[in-house]
């Protein structure tokens, strides 16, 4: 079962998305700020990180930069999530090292497609065939 670290400071978004990912067969770990996102990625080694960009302590941009600069965590795929779908956000996300980008509110089938692509054919949740 693939383990996803969900980084989201908004409780409602966090609960909803983690429940939906659970139902799809993923094990979901939670970080509520960017500092925890970095430390939990280092200690828990999730298969993938879903990173909200607007976060307390350190923001998702900086957290991603740190994780991608560390050889121990650089290989863990990160999908950036931002509230506004702007081309500049997408470019910036790729610039700091995110592997992909999606906008909130989350379109689950679309996001799952990106997750499955980054995890590879055998790394997905219950839905993978």
| Site membership for Mn ion, residue 99 (CB under 5 A) | no
| Site membership for Mn ion, residue 128 (CB under 5 A) | no
Nearby residues of 52 by Cβ (< 8 Å), 6 or more positions away: 7, 8, 9, 10, 13, 60, 81, 82, 104
What beta strand segments (E) does 54-129 contain? 78-82, 100-103
| Site membership for Mn ion, residue 52 (CB under 5 A) | yes
Question: Mapping DSSP to helix (H, G, I), strand (E, B) and coil, where does residue 60 land?
Answer: helix
| Site membership for Mn ion, residue 54 (CB under 5 A) | yes
Sites for Mn ion among residues 1-30 (CB under 5 A): 9
Instruction: State in angstroms the smallest separation of the CB of 124 from Mn ion.
Output: 26
Question: Which residues of the chain form contacts with Mn ion (CB under 5 A)?
Answer: 9, 52, 54
């Amino acid at each position: 079962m693939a383990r996803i670290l969900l980084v989201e400071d908004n409780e409602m978004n966090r609960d909803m998305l983690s429940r939906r990912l659970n139902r799809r067969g993923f094990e979901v770990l939670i970080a509520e700020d960017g500092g925890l996102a970095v430390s939990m990625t280092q200690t828990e080694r999730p298969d993938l990180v879903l990173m909200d960009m607007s976060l307390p302590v350190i923001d998702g941009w900086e957290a991603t930069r740190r994780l991608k600069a560390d050889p121990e965590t650089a290989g863990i795929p990160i999908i950036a999530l931002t509230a506004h779908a702007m081309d500049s956000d997408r470019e910036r996300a790729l610039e700091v090292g995110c592997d992909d980008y999606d906008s909130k509110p989350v379109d689950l089938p679309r996001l799952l497609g990106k997750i499955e692509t980054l995890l590879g054919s055998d790394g997905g949740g219950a839905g993978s065939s």
